[in-house]
Amino acid sequence: AGDDVKSPDEGVVRIVATMRSTLGRYMVAGIIDQGAVQRWSLRDARLVSIDGQSEADESFSEVGGADPGDPVPFLITFDDGGMAEHGAWLTMPLLDRGALRDLTLEMPPLGVPRDAREVPGS
């Protein structure tokens, strides 16, 4: 956990945890602010294997919180067939023309600690 994407123009996304459910689903939990919620789509998120050979679309996503000024928790779930266990790329596509690009974050293999460096969208 601990990857941040921070931009005054585009918002803040912080990945808190990645995990595998007992049902075999890959889950990404984090915190997102209102600026980022308005720029990138969690509902259309994609997970692509590190080798680029496999892809899974979002099967469930939820954004919590009621206060529009505070960052809120989010959860994205993928039926990935196990391909993300070795690492993957999480992509959240643009919602509007104001964002510069899709947001792409590297998800490490399960069980590998995330470092605390800042990770820019690519």
Predicted confidence (pLDDT) per residue in 85-95, tens digit: 888 999 999 88
Counting as low any pLDDT under 50, the low residues of the chain are 1-2, 116-122
Full-model pTM? 0.77
Asked if residue 58 belongs to a domain, the reply is yes
* The predicted structure's pLDDT at residue 114: 56
Asked if residue 31 belongs to a domain, the reply is yes
What digits encode the pLDDT tens for the residues 68-87? Answer: 677 889 999 999 888 888 88
The CATH code of the domain that includes 103 is 2.60.40.1240
Asked if residue 117 belongs to a domain, the reply is no
Asked if residue 76 belongs to a domain, the reply is yes
* The predicted structure's pLDDT at residue 122: 41
Count of structural domains, the chain: 1
Asked if residue 115 belongs to a domain, the reply is no
Asked if residue 44 belongs to a domain, the reply is yes
Name the CA dihedral angle for 57, 43, 45, 9, rounded to a multiple of 10 degrees: 170
First to last CA, the chain: 19
Structural domain range at position 47:
3-107
Asked if residue 114 belongs to a domain, the reply is no
